[in-house]
A and B are shown apart, each in its own frame.
Chain A
């Protein structure tokens, strides 16, 4: 029994939850921006980077993995458009989980060669990567939660959640590109 006397001119269809995630992405972008800025700042101050005794980063495997993460945004996007999102979400989750598992392995392998306690180079390398992997881990948990919710059917709320979480993943993918290129930069930009 409500009256809607004002003409509705809905020109934007991003739900409030999407805007909440947009605010999160804004802060996290600034966060990574400051960490990348710190990396550049300390690199400029160092005569040799990485310092002697610490190996240059390898390029091939990290860049392939980056490609996998970027590819995983496609099924995420497809899920937001699809009437049957669960399969696309599952595909994305498999790619993302595979990426994450490999990255954890690489992180562990790197620690056998140099540690964050040796030099600021290592401190920044492991902090930047650790922060990025942390954001991927949160994304994985979000996807698992969403899958569990979708097992009980689709509602408008769950559709909005799907769009919001997909947006989160696009942002994580972009941030991961920036972080990866930063930590790999000694290998291609001397």
Chain B
């Protein structure tokens, strides 16, 4: 794989995962609030379906970011931590992004499953 391709995958893994998680997260909390408030009536989208769709979207995109960053990490495994750019920088961000995307994936799964299982519109 060329350095250019490695770099592109590295940036994809680093940036897309986090931004997608945050957007999906805001959409999920917003949708859960909408469900429990009068203003959402006319839209009529079932809560479960919406939250499942958001979760699956998140899993897909963040999952691919995770795969991309893990792939780049593996391809640059022999590169030293403090090596010269671009390879040093690519390896560094690939390591960082792999850890980050794993965390985002877990939050997406936890929150998605949680909001589908617990549908109370009041405090328990």
Direct contact of A and B (CB under 8 A): yes
Binding site for B on A (CB under 8 A): 40-41, 43-47, 49, 190
Dominant secondary structure of chain B at its interface with chain A: helix
Chain A residues whose CB sits within 8 angstroms of the CB of B33 once the complex forms: 41, 44
Q: Are B39 and A47 in contact, with the CB atoms below 8 A?
A: yes
Residue of A nearest to B26 (CB): A37
- How many residues of chain B are within 8 Å of chain A by beta carbon? 8
Chain B residues whose CB sits within 8 angstroms of the CB of A41 once the complex forms: 33
Q: Are B42 and A190 in contact, with the CB atoms below 8 A?
A: yes
Q: Are A44 and B37 in contact, with the CB atoms below 8 A?
A: yes
Chain B residues whose CB sits within 8 angstroms of the CB of A49 once the complex forms: 39
Q: Are A44 and B42 in contact, with the CB atoms below 8 A?
A: no
Q: How near does chain A come to B80, taking the closest CB pair, in angstroms? A: 21
> Is B119 interfacial (CB 8 A cutoff)?
no
Residue of B nearest to A190 (CB): B42
Residue of B nearest to A43 (CB): B39
Q: How near does chain B come to A133, taking the closest CB pair, in angstroms? A: 27
> Is B45 interfacial (CB 8 A cutoff)?
no
Chain A residues whose CB sits within 8 angstroms of the CB of B30 once the complex forms: 40
Q: Are B42 and A45 in contact, with the CB atoms below 8 A?
A: no
Q: Are A46 and B38 in contact, with the CB atoms below 8 A?
A: yes
Residue of A nearest to B40 (CB): A44
Q: How near does chain B come to A140, taking the closest CB pair, in angstroms? A: 33
